[in-house]
Amino acid sequence: MFRIKFLHSTFCFLILLLSFRAIASVSDSNTFDNTNIKTIPEFSAQYIVLHKSDPVGHATRQLSYLNNGDIRYHYETDVNWFIFSQERKETSIVQINNNQVIPLHYTYSRTGTGRDKGYEWAYDSENKTATNLKKNKDITIDFSNNLQDKLSYHLQQRLDLIKDPTLRDYNYPVISASGKIKNYNYKYDGTEDLILPYGLVNAIRLKREVKEKKRITYAWFAPELNYLLVKIYQIKNGTEQFEAQLESINHKENIK
């Protein structure tokens, strides 16, 4: 029992930020900025998940455009380590207006070792409401600060990098699965040449530190891949939690 709890604790952080995603714009309406559709095609990216340099799973992230002009961003992971096994899936439906991501719908599920979990939320920025669809409960939310869900903020982060890679601070208010709002803060932490399963890339490194949890997350974005997130590494209490590295990318013309 102790070993199961230890393994679950170690990997509870897995995939939290594997949700690094690409962005695009929306809608045939003139209300929305379609520039990003030309900049970032639909894609599917594959990553290898590592623990202390040993492969323990894989992750897939996909960006697609729906017929109504909305954007679907999805990721899923499959991790197996000793007796620990877990699958996670997360999807955000969003729009983009004037370089700002607008969350519309969010789903999350986790199955495997430990208790299964699932969440589903709908967001209405015009009426300032968020609806917990599992509990059929509405709450009033202020969207004026470009509020994001737990996945869509990665889209906003990539848009910000594309627009101005010289920024040194990246701050995002994020609504959690419980309806609470937390601030996710990243800081520029230099550049680095990475040797990944995908190949050699130069990347901008961002750092997020949560001091009360003694947790540090590093995320690398590659300018040559239009600031796609290519690597993530997390430590807690000085101990490595996980690492994920880009393996391959398939763009729209190659996706079936």
Q: Structure pTM? A: 0.82
For residue 43, what is the domain's CATH number? 2.40.360
Beta bridge partners of 231: 220, 245
Low-confidence ranges of the chain (pLDDT < 70): 1-40, 253-256
Q: How far apart are CA 77 and CA 69, in angstroms?
A: 27
The span from the CA of 115 to the CA of 41, in Å, is 37
Which tokens go with 251? 């763009």
For residue 159, the Cα-to-chain-centroid distance in whole angstroms is 13
Residues paired with 174 in a beta bridge: 148, 182
Nearest to 82 by CA among 15, 3, 2: 3
First to last CA, the chain: 43
What confidence score (pLDDT) does residue 26 get? 32
Give the total number of structural domains in the chain: 1
Residue 246, pLDDT score: 98
In the DSSP assignment, the letter for residue 211 is: G
Q: Which domain holds residue 71?
A: 2-254
Quick check: 219 and 18 in contact, CB under 8 A?
no
Structure tokens at 140: 């009033």
How is residue 254 annotated by DSSP? G
55 within 8 A of 49, measured Cβ to Cβ: yes
pLDDT tens-place string over residues 158-207: 999 999 999 999 999 999 988 999 999 999 999 999 999 999 999 999 99
Provide the mean pLDDT of the chain: 84
Q: Give the whole-angstrom CA distance, residue 136 versus residue 119.
A: 12
Each residue of 124-144: pLDDT tens digit? 999 999 999 999 999 999 999
Selection from 68, 127, 69 nearest residue 97 by Cα = 69
